[in-house]
Amino acid sequence: QSFDTVIRNARVATAADEFHSDIGILDGRIAALAVGLPAGQREIDAAGRYVTPGGIDSHVHFDQPTGDGSVMADDFFSGTTSAACGGTTTVIPFACQQKGQTLRAAVEDYHRRADGKPVIDYAFHLIVTDPTPRVLRDELPALINEGYTSFKIYMTYDALKLSDRDILETLSVARREGAMVMVHAENSDCIAWLTERLLAAGHTQPRYHAASRPMLVEREATHRAIALAELVDVPILVVHVSGRESVDQIRQAQNLGLKVYAETCPQYLFLTADALGCDDGFEGAQCICSPPPRDAANQQVIWDGLENGSFAVFSSDHAPFRYHGPDGKRAHGDNAAFNQVANGIPGVETRMALLWSEGVRRGRITPQDFVALTATNAARLYGLYPRKGSIAIGADADLVIWDEGGHIHLDNAMLHHNVDYTPYAGMCLSAWPAITLSRGEVVWDGQPRGAAGRGQFLPCLRPDPARPRRRAAELP
């Protein structure tokens, strides 16, 4: 047996284990894990460096129309290239239904947007914004069957939000069909009321975005989402959790035995509300995202939650808008009010290195936590396991070989997204992926190497964590 590629002398980290091994790759899959494997056509010397599963970024937005004039800067080529250069080998962007559109049309639209472009593998989450009887009865079950086994629902944004009644109907379909539901939890009416008062007082600058969405609005919606899911008896996953009050709600539900999973993102570890501006300048628009970043005490709560298991996933929520030019953050002018600025920040390329550098290398989390949070758990929660998310015989050879101990000053010029800034500019990192392999092919080795269109669409399985709780009385 000869391998296509052998990675020699790897320090393999999985969500469970750590061991020294060679990795034999054949036909894009991991074919052998042992010391002293026979030679491959190609040899890569890992020289004792850490090798982890390629990242799964399960929350990214590529080429998603916003409907308000702002245009996302990354399409499926630049977005996936940026991901690969940062050690991510699978992305799960969204296929977003517009109100009035069928879900099927939304899925077809996003496949057209992706076709021929991705350099790494991709699946889709749906975003359900218009749960008509037809969507609930026919379309959603059919699409779940076809491999779109997770969808996001919104409790805020006029163009996206569902009423509590709609949420209950939608959750019921998820329960019956076995889909994972992601919830954007912020109270829409509270935000609208606060925004109106801030604007009336002349508080239009970017920094007031944070004041318009205090943690109370996130806490209330998180509580309500959990209650609705408890009523329907279905698991949910609360996305982009920003701080203590929401973590408290999630923790309490978990303690009661509910299947409530949570996601957090780099912005809640490495940014605070100060990033939106300490004066009345517009630069803070760069960091407008929702929920907004909080403060140092809340950053610590997020670190604690990553370490103690409150969070299952660490994803980027990459939502790329350019700062300069007329169609990104400034689509409504150079000094647009905060509520006119597109929400979202870029981060698909920096996610892995930020967490390895600041989490693993600073001793806040273990390499095993890192792998679980950046790859394995997402694979399980969204139905991509065991093909993705682990280093195991038969799994896709999606791998990152890490460079450690350097001194990398983060600067937008080193990144490959189509955004003209990074919120993390100036940070010093001590690690970056040296080589990223996707199904055994090098897609990053200091240069992006992935050809457009080599990425494959991944239909997802029904995720086991989406199953309703199995009470003893109901067990077979």
Could you say which residues in the range 158-187 bind Zn ion, by CB under 5 A?
A: 184
Could you say which residues in the range 302-341 bind ligand URP, by CB under 6 A?
A: 317, 319
CB of 451 to ligand URP, least distance (A): 29
State which residue, 10 or 247, has the beta carbon closest to Zn ion. Answer: 247
Handedness of CA 335, 340, 345, 346 (dihedral sign): negative
Beta strands in 119-277 (DSSP E): 121-122, 125-127, 150-154, 180-184, 236-238, 260-264
CB of 184 to Zn ion, least distance (A): 3
Give Cβ neighbours of residue 150 (< 8 Å, ≥ 6 apart).
Answer: 92, 125, 126, 179, 180, 181, 182, 381, 382, 383, 460, 463, 466
Q: Give yes or no for residue 344 binding ligand URP (CB under 6 A).
A: yes
CB of 344 to Zn ion, least distance (A): 7
Q: Give yes or no for residue 289 binding ligand URP (CB under 6 A).
A: yes
* Structure token pair of residue 264: 């957090």
State which residue, 174 or 221, has the beta carbon closest to Zn ion. Answer: 221
By a kind-dependent CB cut-off of 5 to 8 A, residue 40 interacts, out of Zn ion, ligand URP, none, with none
By a kind-dependent CB cut-off of 5 to 8 A, residue 428 interacts, out of ligand URP, Zn ion, none, with Zn ion
Q: Give yes or no for residue 212 binding ligand URP (CB under 6 A).
A: no
State which residue, 86 or 344, has the beta carbon closest to ligand URP. Answer: 344
State which residue, 345 or 360, has the beta carbon closest to ligand URP. Answer: 345
CB of 344 to ligand URP, least distance (A): 3
* DSSP code string of 384-408: -TTTSSS--TTSB--EEEEEEEEEE
Long-range Cβ contact pairs of 63-67 (< 8 A, separation 24 or more):
63/110, 63/113, 63/114, 64/93, 64/94, 64/96, 65/96, 65/98, 66/342, 67/98, 67/159
Q: Bridge-partner residues for 263, per DSSP?
A: 313
* Structure token pair of residue 38: 């026979």
CB of 138 to Zn ion, least distance (A): 26
State which residue, 348 or 395, has the beta carbon closest to Zn ion. Answer: 348
Determine the interface stretch with Zn ion among 22-30, 44-52, 105-113, 313-321 (rule: CB under 5 A): 313-321
Q: Give yes or no for residue 290 binding ligand URP (CB under 6 A).
A: yes
Write the DSSP symbol of residue 54. Answer: P
* Structure token pair of residue 337: 């009010």
State which residue, 320 or 433, has the beta carbon closest to ligand URP. Answer: 320
Reported residue count of the chain is: 476
State which residue, 49 or 240, has the beta carbon closest to ligand URP. Answer: 240
Q: Bridge-partner residues for 91, per DSSP?
A: 57, 122
CB of 317 to ligand URP, least distance (A): 5
> What 3-state DSSP class applies to 136?
helix
Handedness of CA 214, 216, 217, 219 (dihedral sign): positive
Q: Give yes or no for residue 221 binding ligand URP (CB under 6 A).
A: no
**Among residues 293, 174, 303, 175, which one has the least CA distance to residue 240?**
293
Give Cβ neighbours of residue 347 (< 8 Å, ≥ 6 apart).
Answer: 265, 266, 267, 316, 317, 318, 422, 423, 424
Cis peptide before 291 (omega within 30 of 0): yes
Q: Give yes or no for residue 263 binding ligand URP (CB under 6 A).
A: no
* Structure token pair of residue 360: 């693993």
User: For 51-102, where are the alpha helices, taking DSSP H only?
Assistant: 76-85
Q: Give yes or no for residue 63 binding ligand URP (CB under 6 A).
A: no
Q: Give yes or no for residue 351 binding ligand URP (CB under 6 A).
A: no
Report the C-alpha gap between 179 and 383 in whole angstroms.
9
CB of 213 to ligand URP, least distance (A): 10
* Structure token pair of residue 329: 């953050």
Determine the interface stretch with Zn ion among 157-165, 275-283, 310-318, 328-336 (rule: CB under 5 A): 310-318
For Zn ion, the binding residue among 121, 220, 317, 441 (CB under 5 A) is 317
For ligand URP, the binding residue among 343, 357, 377, 390 (CB under 6 A) is 343
State which residue, 239 or 431, has the beta carbon closest to ligand URP. Answer: 239
Q: Give yes or no for residue 428 binding Zn ion (CB under 5 A).
A: yes
Q: Are 45 and 9 spatial neighbours (Cβ–Cβ below 8 Å)? A: yes
**Among residues 129, 121, 118, 176, which one has the least CA distance to residue 151?**
129
By CB under 6 A, the count of residues binding ligand URP is: 9
State which residue, 317 or 369, has the beta carbon closest to ligand URP. Answer: 317
By a kind-dependent CB cut-off of 5 to 8 A, residue 289 interacts, out of Zn ion, ligand URP, none, with ligand URP
Report the C-alpha gap between 144 and 403 in whole angstroms.
39
State which residue, 125 or 416, has the beta carbon closest to ligand URP. Answer: 125
By a kind-dependent CB cut-off of 5 to 8 A, residue 15 interacts, out of ligand URP, Zn ion, none, with none
The residues binding Zn ion (CB under 5 A) are: 184, 317, 428
The residues binding ligand URP (CB under 6 A) are: 61, 184, 240, 289-290, 317, 319, 343-344
